[in-house]
Amino acid sequence: MDARDRLVLALDLESPRGCLELLGRVGDRIGRVKVGPRIFALGGLGFIRELVDGGYRVFLDLKLHDIPNTVALAVEALASHRIWALTVHAAGGFEMMRRAVECRGDMDILAVTVLTSLGEDAWAQVSPGCPMGDAIASRARLAHRAGVQGLVCSPLDLEIVTSAAPGLATVVPGIRFQGGEVHDQARVMGPREAVASGASFLVVGRAILESPDPAGTIESMVEMMEVGN
């Protein structure tokens, strides 16, 4: 898999129409896209079908986290829509992830370990007494045992994750150009360093979406990923 196929564009824009306009501008420079809760709420499965029919591999990032049966029913409802990958939250536990895998069809299930927005202080507020690294390793091991196809983690957690769950794909948000703003993500890294650290896929949003030249920014990102390989 070449560097370009490992880049996932996060479609975090105001509307499905805006997403399609952007994709028209960048052409075949992007083959994988991430759809989050807002755009999915606005565009629904019709938007997903439009992307899939356009040749894009869709990463639906809903971070499902509920009782096992509820998550299983949701996964089953999405499994027939030719989606590349769907996220569940590893904090939901082994049985929830196992049931999601059972119902996935041909869709990959990716387990989110810890949100990249949580730094150590924020983590301590919601998980007092549990070091973040221990939680990430434990969740990665559970996800691996449950049979998921990959993990979503901060680039700073790649060493922990790949050690705890060897062989799983790693999908990494929190990618920034050197010197770029981090906004609401606390644990970030550049594309070259993330690939060198073992990331399978990089999810990039603002750096491309807010660029005056999105196509050129994608090319720069791909070049950096190739150097890090």
What residues are labeled active site?
63
Question: SS3 string of 105-155?
Answer: CCCEEEEECCCCCCCHHHHHHHCCCCCHHHHHHHHHHHHHHHCCCEEECCH
In contact, 211 and 217? CB cutoff 8 Å: yes
Which residues lie closer than 8 Å to 87 by C-beta, 6 or more apart?
Answer: 59, 60, 61, 62, 63, 64, 109, 110, 111, 112, 152
Q: What are phi and psi of 119, to 5 degrees?
A: -85, -175
In contact, 87 and 60? CB cutoff 8 Å: yes
Q: What share of the chain is helix, strand, coil (3-state, %, to 5)?
A: 50, 15, 35
Half-sphere exposure (Cβ direction) of 67: Cα atoms closer than 13 Å: 2
Cα gap 228→150, rounded to integer Å? 21
Question: SS3 string of 26-46?
Answer: HHHHCCEEEECHHHHHHHHHH
Ramachandran class of 26: left when φ > 0, alpha when ψ lies in -120 to 50, beta otherwise: alpha
